[in-house]
Each structure stands twice: as C-alpha cells, then as structure tokens.
C-alpha cells in the first residue's frame, strides 16, 4: 500500500476518530524508534532502598481467611 492510498483512507476517517489514528501512528513510530536504537534502559538497583517497610508479622495468616483454611 502506498502513501497516497493510506492518506485517502485517513481522509475517510470520521473527525471524532482522528485523535485515535494519530495516537496509533505515534505508537508505531515509537516502537520503531526503540527497535532501531537497540538500547534497553537498565533497571537501577536499590532504587527503592529505604522506602519499603516489611512488618514483622508479614508471614502471619490473615484472620479474614481463617474460614477458608
């Protein structure tokens, strides 16, 4: 399919759906950009260190589930 055929189809899309078409095109372009770069963002180790807290009774059974046990 050529660009002119694609433009003809886009011209037939109702105005209320044009934003959705634009979003889809942006999504495709972003995917291709990521594929071409070949670089994946690595996770940062220890990013949440000191922000999470595990309570001492974490492994204690939840009383609400006693009737199922």
The answer to whether 30 touches 22, Cβ cutoff 8 Å, is no
pLDDT of residue 19: 96
pLDDT tens digit sequence for 19-62: 999 999 999 999 998 888 877 778 889 888 889 888 898 888 88
Q: Where are the beta strands (DSSP E) in the chain?
A: none
């Amino acid at each position: 399919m050529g660009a002119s055929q694609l433009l003809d189809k886009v011209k037939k899309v109702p105005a209320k759906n044009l934003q959705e078409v634009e979003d889809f095109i942006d999504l495709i372009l972003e995917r291709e950009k990521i594929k071409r770069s070949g670089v994946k963002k690595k996770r940062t180790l220890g990013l949440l260190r000191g922000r999470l807290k595990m309570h001492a009774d974490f492994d204690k059974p939840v009383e609400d589930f006693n009737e199922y046990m």
